[in-house]
Chains A and B, each alone.
Chain A
Amino acid sequence: MNPWLRGLIYAVVVINVFLTITAWSIWFERKFSGRMQSRLGPTFYGPMGLLQPVVDGIKLIQKEFLIPINADRLLFVIAPPLTVVLALGTAAVVPFGADIIAADLDIGVLYLLALGSLTIIPVWMSGWSSNNKYAMLGAMRAVAQGVSYEIPLVLASLVPVILAGSMSLSDIVRFQIKHGWFAFWPPGPGFFAFLFFLPASLAEANRIPFDIPEAESELIAGVSTEYTGMGFGLLYLAEYLHTLVISAVASVLFFGGWDGPFAPGLHWMVLKTLGLFAGIFWVRWSLVRFRSDQLMSICWRYLVPGGLILVMSAGLWVHFHRGSG
Chain B
Amino acid sequence: MTIGSVYFFLCAIACIAGALVTVVARNPIRGALGLLLTIVGIAGMYLKLHAQFLAAVQVIVYAGAVVILFVFVLMLLGADAMERPTGNRSPVARIAGGIGIAAIVLFTAYRAIQVYSRATNGHFPSLSEDFGSVKSVGKQLYSEALAPFELSTALLIVSVIGAIAVARTGHKRTALSPNNLTSAHRFFGGPVEPRDAAQPITKDSTL
Interface residues of A (CB under 8 A from B): 4, 72, 75, 105-107, 110-111, 113-115, 117-118, 120-121, 124-125, 128, 133, 136-137, 139-140, 143-144, 146-147, 150, 154, 166-167, 292-293
Q: Which 3 A-B pairs have the closest CB atoms?
A: A117-B64, A110-B56, A114-B59
A143 contacts B72, C-beta separation under 8 Å? yes
- Expressed in whole angstroms, the Cα–Cα distance for A105 and B47 within the complex equals 11
Q: Contacts A113-B56, A114-B60, A143-B68 known; A106 to B133 CB distance under 8 Å?
A: yes
A147 contacts B72, C-beta separation under 8 Å? yes
Within 8 A of A (CB), among B68-104: 68-69, 71-72, 75
Q: Does B206 contact A (CB under 8 A)?
A: no
- For A293, the chain B residues whose CB sits under 8 A away are 193
- For A140, the chain B residues whose CB sits under 8 A away are 72, 75
Q: Tell me which of B30, B56, B72, B188 contacts A133 (CB under 8 A).
A: B188
16 CB-based A-B contacts, threshold 8 Å: A75-B33, A106-B52, A106-B134, A113-B56, A114-B64, A117-B59, A117-B63, A121-B36, A121-B63, A121-B67, A121-B68, A143-B68, A143-B71, A143-B72, A147-B65, A150-B65
- For A110, the chain B residues whose CB sits under 8 A away are 53, 56-57, 60, 134
A147 contacts B68, C-beta separation under 8 Å? yes
What's the count of A-B pairs with C-beta under 8 Å? 73
B63 contacts A107, C-beta separation under 8 Å? no
B: interface residue count bin: 20 to 34
Interface residues of B (CB under 8 A from A): 3, 27, 29-30, 33, 36, 52-53, 56-57, 59-60, 63-65, 67-69, 71-72, 75, 133-134, 188, 192-193
- For B60, the chain A residues whose CB sits under 8 A away are 110, 113-114, 117, 154
Q: Contacts A106-B134, A117-B59 known; A125 to B33 CB distance under 8 Å?
A: yes
Q: Which chain B residue lies CB-closest to A168?
A: B134
- Expressed in whole angstroms, the Cα–Cα distance for A144 and B68 within the complex equals 9
Q: Which of A4, A121, A125, A128 has the most CB of B within 10 A?
A: A121
- Expressed in whole angstroms, the Cα–Cα distance for A120 and B133 within the complex equals 27
- Expressed in whole angstroms, the Cα–Cα distance for A143 and B68 within the complex equals 7
A70 to chain B, nearest CB (A): 12
- Expressed in whole angstroms, the Cα–Cα distance for A110 and B56 within the complex equals 6
B52 contacts A147, C-beta separation under 8 Å? no
- Expressed in whole angstroms, the Cα–Cα distance for A117 and B192 within the complex equals 26
User: Can you name 12 extra interface pairs (CB under 8 A) apart from A114-B57, A147-B65, A150-B64?
Assistant: A75-B33, A105-B52, A106-B133, A107-B134, A110-B60, A113-B56, A114-B56, A118-B64, A120-B68, A125-B33, A136-B75, A167-B134
B52 contacts A118, C-beta separation under 8 Å? no
- Expressed in whole angstroms, the Cα–Cα distance for A137 and B30 within the complex equals 19
